[in-house]
Amino acid sequence: MSSEDMHRFGADQLHEQIVAVLRAWGMPGEPAAATATVMVETDLSGVDSHGVSMLMMYEKLRSEDRLKLDAVPRVVRDAPAFAVVDAGAGLGHPAGLHALELAIGKAAVCGIGAVAVGNSHHLGALGHYVRSAAQRGLVALMTTTTRTPVVAALGGTTPILGTNPIAFAAPRAGGGELVVDMSTSVVAMNKVKAYALSGRDLPVGWVSDRSGDPVTDAALAYSLLTTHAATLTPLGGSSSETGGHKGFGLSLMVNVLSAAFSGGALPFDDADSDNLGHFVLVIDPTRVAEGGETARYVDDLVRLLVRDEPHVILPGGPEAAARAARGRDGIPIPENLLEQLRGICGRAGTEMILTPLA
């Protein structure tokens, strides 16, 4: 896509636009602002697949009466180090943030806290949640199920599991965090959508049709994935020789952690709500190790990885670089996506306020 088809916008204005749409849809002010913060921070980090572009999917869920934007997450089971939260069929961002704070509170008392969430919807990129915990000196792990089955078991051609991401973060001594945020498929499904919106072809090996042939047309691939007519490759590739069984095994693990404790849906559940499940685990290092030892270890480990290797790319590194660049230059949005956002604003009855930076 040429630079003429791409415009840049300030993070504050993008936040204001998302809040306006969510409020017009009936979401109360505080959760709307919190949701917009997660979405904008995701766009700032260069994860265009999980930011403002998700408004199209949220609008569709709302129009199908599957999404309750005024839902209030509530604790349905509680114990000293564990809790289960019902998201009320609302967006996952408020539920995910609520679960994270619950887990942090439990870790402050018990040294460790775990919270499972059920009856939820999409909650954005997990990296935002775990990174915010690490910024508070905590170690965090988060997983979630996803809406559309797109990954087949090794040797199969029927999509059965979602992209089922997992994220982990730990603080570093002296500031900064180590952040790992990844889907258990070779790429997130919404990244295919982001490629389609920007008019780029997919790399060979991301998506295959039901005959096993690669699909590189991003718009076609996304359409096929949404109708179960194609599959995403699991981490490691499509064969056991390259480790595809390990990626699929990770996806199974994520599915159990995210949904088994909270009554989350099995794949192909046809209930009125997506009933996604999330799982958050937080460890307070000060309760299990001498002061600062954990952060020093993480920092020493990272320094060892990059010693005499100036071109090493660490997990979280590209996102940190994107936050610096986009915070300075603005968040790029393709014209195709802007046109869809104009339509969303029109249907919601709210003004399209986005103005490109000079």
Q: Are residues 30 and 171 in the same domain?
A: no
Residue 111: phi and psi, rounded to 5, are 90, -25
Judge whether 314 and 306 are in contact, CB under 8 Å. yes
Helices and strands, counts by H and E, the chain: 11, 13
Q: Are residues 239 and 289 in the same domain?
A: yes
Q: Are residues 93 and 180 in the same domain?
A: yes
Does residue 111 register a pLDDT over 90?
yes
Instruction: State which amino acid sits at residue 74.
Output: R
Q: What residues does 112 pair with on adjacent strands?
A: 283
Number of domains in the chain: 2
Q: Are residues 52 and 84 in the same domain?
A: no
CATH number of the domain encompassing residue 284: 3.30.1370.60
pLDDT digits (tens, 9 = 90+) for 3-26: 447 899 999 999 999 999 999 999
Indicate the pLDDT class of residue 1, thresholds 50, 70 and 90: very low
Counting Cα atoms < 13 Å in the Cβ hemisphere of 293 gives 8
Dist. CA 51–CA 40, nearest whole Å: 6
Judge whether 181 and 165 are in contact, CB under 8 Å. yes
Dist. CA 52–CA 7, nearest whole Å: 14
In a domain, residue 193? The reply is: no
Percent of the chain with pLDDT over 70: 99
Dist. CA 299–CA 174, nearest whole Å: 8
Structure tokens at 277: 């499940």
In a domain, residue 276? The reply is: yes
Residue 240: phi and psi, rounded to 5, are -70, -25
**C-alpha of 305 from chain center:** 26
Counting beta carbons within 10 angstroms of the beta carbon of residue 204, is it exposed (0 to 12), middle (13 to 18) or buried (19 or more)?
exposed
**How far, CA to CA in Å, does 275 sit from each of 37, 122, 346?**
23, 10, 29
Please, what is the end-to-end C-alpha distance for the chain in angstroms?
20
Residue 140: enclosing H or E segment and its boundaries?
strand 139-144
SS3 238: coil
In a domain, residue 106? The reply is: yes
Q: Are residues 176 and 282 in the same domain?
A: yes
Q: What is the pTM of this model?
A: 0.91
Indicate the pLDDT class of residue 147, thresholds 50, 70 and 90: confident
- The per-residue pLDDT of the chain, averaged, comes to 93
pLDDT of residue 243: 85
In a domain, residue 356? The reply is: yes
Q: Are residues 90 and 237 in the same domain?
A: yes
Q: Are residues 180 and 245 in the same domain?
A: yes
Q: Are residues 94 and 158 in the same domain?
A: yes
Q: Are residues 169 and 273 in the same domain?
A: yes
pLDDT digits (tens, 9 = 90+) for 115-146: 999 999 999 999 999 999 999 999 999 999 99
Domain hosting residue 26, numbered range: 1-70+316-358
Give the domain-ending residue among 313, 328, 346.
313
Q: Are residues 173 and 254 in the same domain?
A: yes
CATH number of the domain encompassing residue 36: 1.10.1530.10
Mean pLDDT, to the nearest integer, of 271-292?
90
Judge whether 155 and 175 are in contact, CB under 8 Å. no
In a domain, residue 291? The reply is: yes
Give the domain-ending residue among 278, 298, 313.
313
Q: Are residues 128 and 174 in the same domain?
A: yes
In a domain, residue 197? The reply is: no
Q: Are residues 136 and 13 in the same domain?
A: no
pLDDT of residue 358: 72
pLDDT digits (tens, 9 = 90+) for 178-230: 999 999 999 888 889 889 988 899 999 899 998 889 999 999 999 999 999 99
pLDDT of residue 190: 83
Rg (CA), the chain: 20
**How far, CA to CA in Å, does 10 sit from each of 84, 201, 230, 358?**
37, 28, 36, 10
- The residue written with tokens 């997506």 in the block is 274
In a domain, residue 47? The reply is: yes
Residues contacting 57, CB < 8 A, separation 6+: 122
pLDDT of residue 3: 47
In a domain, residue 207? The reply is: no
